[in-house]
Amino acid sequence: MSASATKSATESAAEGADKPRYARVLLKVSGEALMGDTQYGIDVGTVDRIAREIQQACEIGVEVCLVIGGGNIFRGLSGAAKGMERASADYMGMLATVMNALAMQNSLERLDVPTRVLSAIPMTTICEPYIRRRAVRHMEKGRVVIFAAGTGNPFFTTDTAAALRATEMGCDALLKGTQVDGVYSDDPKQVPDAERYERLTYFDVIARDLKVMDTSAIALARENDIPIIVFSIHDSGSLVDVLTGKGRCTIIENAA
């Protein structure tokens, strides 16, 4: 086959491939998702698997940034419930997110995916401080950006941080990778016949008190018209499937 024919075949295959629906997205992953089958901490194999999902998303041309929770190491609310001062407990939780961000960066870079960790709490020895224009520039250059330390303020969750960073980065969607394949009326692990939703409005989530993200995160996404897509981060290939409109998920957006 001639070089021109080979090129033509390659271009045809690329045109036939599924194209992503979103150019730039923020992926929110809970800290618990990094534990794998363990009860605490970071399971390297699980982090590597999620990193491969992100690598595949980058390969189809999507700009990706992340917010990772810290519940696998320390949860501020739990600490406060046990008698710790809430602000101090929240700061400890923010430091846990930095540890998770560094673990994800390590896995991504071993896959040759250029990655930057930007922290809302300056710690320049190990990562860059969060500067919005710098983060946007990193993404424009094709780097995965991981936002660590939440918003940098106590009393705000990493869900709110995810909605805030998605807004600041001009993301087309906020993807929340969870333990299940969408939003249910109740915990499907506890209630087998719980109803699964394909689509919801932001108002539905708040009115029905569905435990998707905290209310401030939902409100911020609604105000900026950023759809929230909830899917299972544990299903192989699920991230690319959702990005190309084929995946099993629940979409939360403004009413048509």
Q: What is the dihedral of CA 44, 231, 93, 42, to 10 degrees?
A: -10
All residues at 6 or more sequence positions from 140 whose CB lies less than 8 Å from its CB, including other chains:
63
- 225-244 confidence digits (pLDDT tens): 999 999 999 888 999 999 99
- 146-170 confidence digits (pLDDT tens): 999 999 999 999 999 999 999 999 9
Q: What are the C-alpha distances in Å from 130 to residues 64, 138, 152, 176?
A: 16, 12, 10, 21
All residues at 6 or more sequence positions from 116 whose CB lies less than 8 Å from its CB, including other chains:
105, 127, 128, 135, 138, 143, 144, 145, 146
**Is the predicted pLDDT of residue 181 greater than 90, yes or no?**
yes
Q: How far does Cα 55 stand from its chain's mean position?
A: 14
- Average of pLDDT values for 179-196? 91
Q: Residue for token digits 């992100």?
A: 54
What are the domain boundaries of the chain? 20-253
pLDDT of residue 79: 74
Does CATH place domain 20-253 in 3.40.1160.10?
yes
pLDDT of residue 189: 86
In the chain, the percentage of residues whose pLDDT exceeds 70 is 93
- Average of pLDDT values for 164-193? 94
Residue 256: band (very low, low, confident or very high) from pLDDT cuts 50, 70, 90: low
